[in-house]
Amino acid sequence: MTTGLQGLLVVVTVVALAPFLARSLHGRVPAVALLMLGGIAVGPSGLGFLQPNAATDLFANIGLGLIFALIGLTIDQKTLGDTAGRLGFLGWLATLGIGTLLAALLPLGDGLRPVALVVALSSTALSTLLVILRESGEWQAPLGRLLLSAGTWGQLGPVLAVALLLGSADPRTMVLSVGLVALVAWLLATVPGQISGHSAWTWLRDVAGATPATPLQLIYLLIVGLIALSKVLGVDILMGAILAGLVMRRFIADPQTSEALKHLEASSYGLFVPLFFVVAGSRLDLASVAAHPWGPLLCLMGIVLIRGLPQFLLYRRALPDRTERLRFCLLVSQSLNLPIVVGYLEVQAGLMSPQVEAALVGGSLLSVLLLPALAMTLRR
């Protein structure tokens, strides 16, 4: 068996076993954390069954694109512009500002770009937050609505920052490239609506609806197309992926009943997305964590400091009860996807050391394991 096929077999095995372990733990440990831990166990730092190779990297990058396409699809644009949305945007800007100030003042050492660390720590794990709000029944509560808006900006803002700040191209060229990708996405989102009454559009819609698989194939074409355009223009692929999700949102009237979306989520969360987290976990340098055990704890402290503290001050009027405000700060500070993605991309580009990546990923894992549990114990 070739190394690539052996690696894929190991990854798929971990992906298949993770749900059974999650159910046996009664949901006390997030599935993403289990997948990361499984990747660590089978990777070079563990049993050595999984070694980095081109095949697993290819599927991991597909999973990475799907993660952010689905995030873009879950973003309700109404949450971005109301009062809660404005507070969420200001909260993320405050996070970015405080993080930038601390990065300039503190001796961070070598092996990383300070801007990459700040962007990674400024994010919120929106997918995990959505699960917590559904399970706690606080989806429609005032706290839940504020969390949803803050989490949306905490996911969308860092993705835009990754595209604009972490690229290697000239800043002016990068802005133009990002603008071009956004323009193409805007045309894809608006032009079909303008020609919806034309006979050609009616014919295309009938053809697309002829079989259940065709809408799903068109969705994948949209995602891959915008990711490919981002890659050609030198823009981070996350930008194209999340814009693909935002475009899809325009054509799905009710995400809860869309069959195409259900098929997309099943294929994504069933294989590609978990596969990314297993591969990312396998790349974690466990030896460096053992040699520097304080690294993940320092990153966890950094997440709470730059993400949670500004919210406690900013939301004084929106959440006058201090306990509720503290719960809000803890829940909005959990961060997983972006630190993993930023570390993964920076190490691949040779701009971050594996030791720093290990501390960053370890701190983000602690944030989703500890902060939501602490927030739930404070619930009245």
Most confident by average pLDDT, 167-176, 180-189, 273-282, 321-330: 321-330
pLDDT digits (tens, 9 = 90+) for 281-291: 787 777 777 77
Helix, strand counts (H, E) of the chain: 19, 0
Exposed e or buried b for every residue in 151-188, given b needs 16+ CB within 10 A? bbbbbbbbbbbbbbbbbeeeeeebeebbeebbebbeeb
> Does residue 1 have a pLDDT over 50?
no
State the DSSP string of 249-260: HHH-S-TTT-HH
At 194 the pLDDT is 62
pLDDT tens-digit map of 99-127? 888 888 877 766 678 888 888 888 888 76
Amino acid residing at 276: F
Among residues 218, 213, 210, the alpha carbon closest in space to that of 251 is found at 218
- Per-residue pLDDT reduced to its tens digit, 180-207: 777 777 776 676 666 556 665 565 555 5
More reliable by pLDDT, 102 or 177 = 102
User: Is residue 101 within 8 Å of 124, Cβ to Cβ?
Assistant: no
pLDDT surpassing 80 at residue 305: yes
What local confidence, expressed as pLDDT, does residue 142 receive? 78
pTM for this model (two decimals): 0.71
The structure tokens listed for 40 are 């660590």
Name all domains of the chain by residue range, CATH numbers in brackets. Answer: 74-377 (1.20.1530.20)
Give the pLDDT band (50/70/90) at residue 16: low
Give which of 28, 119, 64, 126 is closest to 279, Cα–Cα.
64
pLDDT, tens digit, 9 for 90 and up, residues 21-48: 655 555 555 666 677 778 887 878 777 7
224-260 per-position pLDDT tens digit: 887 777 777 766 677 777 777 777 777 666 666 677 7
**Which helix H or strand E contains 240, and what residues bound it?**
helix 237-251
- Burial of 370: CB neighbours in 10 Å, binned 0-12, 13-18, 19+: middle
